[in-house]
């Protein structure tokens, strides 16, 4: 009996009683406690993919470049696409083409609006990785993605300007 009283007074007993109530029948725990616990942290890194139709990119960059990310099932035109990011996480930009040509993301540069990323400029050779600030910031950040298409041994560089917004949760 002494052992049971000791266990009831410790946090270990509370945890055991919460998840295995039949082990400590005399322990009174609010059955709604599990429902009141906050949800698990579902924040994650955002991967933004720039898909280029290399056959038509010189004619109309706005129609030849589609952006998508791992946060939603949506994709959109480069200049109007908005990606959601989470505080304290990473944003990774990568390129691909529809024809097998190479698409290198070389630089990410802040244009204006809310300052969601820790730095104004990030560079890379084929992909670029940035870090999101530690606190929630309301608003939309405009930025440029600089990328190079390598087709038939010829390199051509382009700039598009999508947007970022921080997830409030």
Q: Which domains does the chain have, with CATH numbers?
A: 2-36 (no CATH), 46-166 (2.60.40.3910)
What is residue 42's predicted lDDT score, i.e. its pLDDT? 62
- Give residue-wise pLDDT tens across range 13-45: 444 444 444 444 544 444 443 333 333 446 799
- Give residue-wise pLDDT tens across range 96-143: 998 999 999 999 999 999 999 999 999 999 999 999 999 999 999 999
- Residue 58 Cα distances to 39, 42, 66, 81, 113, angstroms: 47, 40, 14, 20, 29
Q: Give 74's pLDDT tier (boundaries 50, 70, 90).
A: confident
Specify the pTM.
0.74
What is residue 20's predicted lDDT score, i.e. its pLDDT? 45
Mean pLDDT in the chain? 81
Give the whole-angstrom CA distance, residue 73 versus residue 101.
Answer: 24
Q: In the predicted model, what is the mean pLDDT of residues 48-67? A: 94
Q: What is the DSSP string of 55-95?
A: TTTTT-HHHHEEEEETT-S-EEEGGG-EEEE-TT-EEEEEE
Q: In the predicted model, what is the mean pLDDT of residues 156-162? A: 96
Q: Is the pLDDT of residue 12 over 70?
A: no
């Amino acid at each position: 009996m002494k052992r049971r009283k000791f266990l009831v007074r410790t946090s270990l007993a509370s945890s055991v009683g919460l998840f295995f109530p039949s082990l400590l029948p005399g322990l009174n725990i609010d059955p709604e406690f599990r429902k009141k616990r906050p949800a698990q942290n579902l924040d994650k890194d955002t991967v933004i993919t720039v898909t280029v139709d290399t056959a038509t990119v010189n004619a109309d960059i706005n129609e030849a470049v589609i952006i998508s990310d791992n946060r939603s099932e949506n994709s959109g035109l480069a200049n109007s696409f908005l990606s959601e990011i989470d505080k304290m996480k990473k944003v990774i930009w990568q390129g691909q083409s529809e024809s097998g040509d190479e698409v290198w993301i070389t630089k990410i540069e802040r244009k204006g609006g809310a300052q969601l990323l820790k730095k104004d400029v990030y560079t890379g050779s084929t992909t670029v990785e940035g870090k999101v600030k530690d606190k929630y910031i309301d608003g939309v950040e405009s930025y440029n993605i600089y990328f190079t298409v390598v087709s038939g041994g010829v390199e051509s560089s382009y700039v598009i300007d999508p947007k970022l917004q921080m997830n409030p949760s």
